[in-house]
Amino acid sequence: MNRHSIVAATAILLAATWLAMAPPSPGRPRPQADAPHTHTADVPAYHKSPPRGPLPDTQDPKQFPDPVNQNVYTLSARIKKILYQQPCYCMCDHGYGHQSLLDCYVSTHAAVCSICRMEAVYAYEQFGKGKSAAQIRQGIIKGEWKKVDMSKYASPLSPR
């Protein structure tokens, strides 16, 4: 890797980190929803029920230079209602005010957080197996997301 590549990669990482820390945009729609489950000692914030209104868009996968983030942001857009009902164990509900795992994908936070990416892939894979949001949430709470094989997402996904 030459010096210019290192500088460019560092700049992208710094920009992504800065964007991930930015507060949510006031122009983005928030669904009419139940109040999120309040963070407890064991479980971060999430919504217990499906949203009752439109959900905000996730970030455009094309803005990310790497296939993993492109893939995970693509998958997250497909299961927004499921992610809305999931906690995120990077504890972003404290640091960034996130109310569920979906908020990590409405922002660029997940691009710099392996926990968010693994949880979303876990949710996507479990949803594909017919699991409900509540069943997926129980798996996330048990830590089953830690077993996700992210190497499957290192190459571009085939179009759906």
- With a cut of 60, say whether residue 97 has pLDDT above it: yes
Q: What is the CA radius of gyration of the chain?
A: 15
Decide if 33 is inside a domain: no
Section 60-78 average pLDDT: 97
Instruction: Provide the residue range defining the domain that includes 59.
Output: 3-21+39-153
The pLDDT of 99-124, averaged and rounded, is 96
Tell me the per-residue pLDDT of 138-154, one tens digit each, with 9 for 90 and over: 999 999 999 999 999 99
For 5-23, write each residue's pLDDT tens digit: 443 444 444 444 444 444 4
Spatial distance between the Cα atoms of 25 and 114, rounded to a whole number of angstroms: 23
Beta bridge partner(s), residue 46: 37
Judge whether residue 115 has pLDDT over 80: yes
Report pLDDT for 34: 59
For residues 145 and 139, is the Cβ–Cβ distance under 8 A?
yes
Tokens of 111: 């691009």
Look up tokens 């936070």; give the residue. Answer: 109
- When pLDDT is averaged across residues 85-114 and rounded to a whole number, the result is 93
Task: Please state, rounded to an integer, the average pLDDT across all residues of the chain.
Answer: 83
pLDDT, average across residues 39-65: 91
- The one-letter code for the residue type at 63 is Q
Which residue type occupies 80?
K
Q: Which of 97, 119, 84 is nearest to 39 (CA)?
A: 97
Which residues touch 146 (CB under 8 Å, ≥6 apart)?
Answer: 118
Which amino acid, 79? I
The Cα 83–Cα 71 span in angstroms is: 15
Report how far residue 108's alpha carbon sits from residue 27's, in angstroms, rounded to the nearest whole number. Answer: 16
Between CA 103 and CA 109 the distance in angstroms is 8
> Tokens standing for 55?
């959900």
Q: Which helix (H) or strand (E) holds 74?
A: helix 67-78
Instruction: Specify the number of domains making up the chain.
Output: 1
pLDDT at 76 exceeding the cut of 80: yes
Q: Is residue 160 included in any domain, yes or no? A: no
Quick one: what percent of the chain has pLDDT higher than 70? 74
126 pLDDT more than 50: yes
The predicted model scores a pTM of: 0.78
Is residue 32 situated within a structural domain? no
